[in-house]
Structure 1
Amino acid sequence: RLSVQRLRTLQQKKEAQAKVARRDIALLIERGKIETARIKVEAIIHEDIYVELLEIMELYCELLLARFGLLDQITRDPDPGIVEGVNAVIHAAQRTELKELHILRDILMHKYGREFSIAVMENRDGCVSKRVVSKLSNDTPAPALVDAYLKEIAKAYGVPFLLPGEAVEENAETPDEDGKVRATRNCKPRLINLLYGLTGNHGTKVFGH
């Protein structure tokens, strides 16, 4: 239960930090410092993926808590009803910064034994959920994904921004009385809403992670 609470708190902290980072990126775009903005966007993408990992781990911890009776069985093989959650915690907990999750991992490894734990850590036979494994990659974000973030961050903060080779989109932006370009009401930063979690979906399907 403590692991679940700490996971939620950490997610909220990371999401608040991400909002600040997005404002900073919008300022960089406005000042024409696009390459610096791209580097910062890559960091944000990694943080978004990390938050998605925390969400998944929270769900698995809730599953283990709800099915504690299965977890409490005297056996070296997890019940099918909890094996996915057990494997996820053993495989991915160390990639998080939560000591409570590390402790839970140690408990599970002790309960199910060295051989089982090593197999899970090595993801033998694909025993760990693909959702979890996909969030542990340290690959550099694809340029197209970085571009998508840049465009939607700029749109969300009303900053004019075009990628090289793009034409100005008709009626996408209009100047206000001060001559500053603002996003029109019809501009719907759908991707940004996903990034901020306003839709309840943190972009997993949109970004293909």
Structure 2
Amino acid sequence: MGAFAVGAVTGESPTAQATDTVSNSVSVAEELGIQAEPTEAISPTVAAERLGELAATRNVRDAEQAAAQQAQADADRVVAEAAAAAAAAAAAEAARPKAVHPVDGARLTSSYGPRWGTLHAGIDLAAPLRTPEKAVMDGIVLEAGPASGFGLAVYIQHDNGDVTVYGHMDSILVEAGQVVRAGDTIALLGNRGQSTGPHLHFEVHVGGLDGQKTDPVPWLRERGIAI
């Protein structure tokens, strides 16, 4: 039997068939109707400009982030400082005395009780003229000014409703409606009114201005103040 040649059957050589297949092939882009546009190269100058724009944008973003971080840090510092100030104020308030002696260094010269055929409704505390007189506790000034028998007087109502009275002062340093704290100077000790020498006449009215007049010594002792 003679040899069978492929070329004899097709009439073309294998090389010719391959060439024809390549020449007749169609790309996917051509089938979809997409034509590739050639890209134009950019110069180093243009590239540098675009990189500069990118860097500038990045710098702006970094600056904005830094500003936001600084603003947050400032806000945190303000909050921390406010908290520290509040804590310091609370500590100072806790340490502040709740009651004080009305006249530092004064001596008791007359007690509460009957005197000269009437009730001496307070105590007398002698000290040099114009010695500071202090609010014994926190309160609000009800009255401050001329008063019969006292010459001048100050009336302070405290948060428990009691009223303390200070009389015979040389000058008054507070006014009606003023809030005072324990230890605030309210007047300077004097000798006005029915007085035989420089002293503070001090009274306590339990429950209000027209309340019961009580002995100030035990009232002060209950609050840690010895007379």
One fold, TM greater than 0.5?
no
Structure showing the higher helix proportion among its residues: 1
Higher relative contact order (CA 8 A, sep 6+): 1
- If the TM-score is normalised by the length of the shorter chain, which range does it land in? under 0.3
What is the TM-score normalised by the length of structure 1? Answer: 0.24
Indicate the structure with greater strand content.
2
